[in-house]
C-alpha cells in the first residue's frame, strides 16, 4: 500500500537536506500515517484505514461517515 492518507490525501513530498555549508541533497518528507480501525455504527462493521494524524482529527471532528463521504468525493477513498 502506498503512503497516502485515505482521508486527507496527504502523501510523500520532496525537499532538501541543507548542511552547514548549504550543500543541498534531496530528501523525502513522509506523512505521519497510522493504520487504524474505525467502527461504523450505521453499517455495524469495522474498517481499517491508513490515516494521517490530521485525518484522525478530521474523523473526530466530522464523524467517520461524513469523513469517508468527503474522501470518496475527492478520490482519496474507494468504498
- What is d(CA 19, CA 25) in angstroms, rounded to the nearest whole number? 9
The whole domain housing 45 covers: 13-74
What pLDDT, on the 0 to 100 scale, is given for residue 48? Answer: 97
Residue 58 lies in a domain: yes
What pLDDT, on the 0 to 100 scale, is given for residue 2? Answer: 86
Residue 27 lies in a domain: yes
* HSE, side-chain direction, 13 A CA sphere, residue 52: 18
- What CATH number corresponds to the domain at position 68? 2.30.170.40
Total domain count, the chain: 1
Residue 21 lies in a domain: yes
Residue 4 lies in a domain: no
What pLDDT, on the 0 to 100 scale, is given for residue 18? Answer: 98
**pLDDT tens across the length of the chain (79 residues):** 689 999 999 999 999 999 999 999 999 999 999 999 999 999 999 999 999 999 999 999 999 999 999 999 999 998 7
> Rounded to two decimals, what is the model's pTM?
0.87
Amino acid at each position: 500500500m502506498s503512503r497516502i492518507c485515505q482521508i486527507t490525501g496527504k502523501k510523500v513530498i520532496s525537499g532538501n537536506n541543507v548542511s552547514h555549508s548549504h550543500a543541498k541533497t534531496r530528501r523525502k518528507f513522509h506523512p505521519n500515517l497510522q493504520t487504524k480501525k474505525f467502527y461504523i455504527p450505521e453499517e455495524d462493521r469495522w474498517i481499517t484505514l491508513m490515516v494521517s494524524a490530521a485525518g484522525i482529527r478530521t474523523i473526530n471532528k466530522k464523524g467517520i461517515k461524513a469523513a469517508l463521504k468527503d474522501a470518496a468525493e475527492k478520490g482519496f477513498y474507494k468504498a
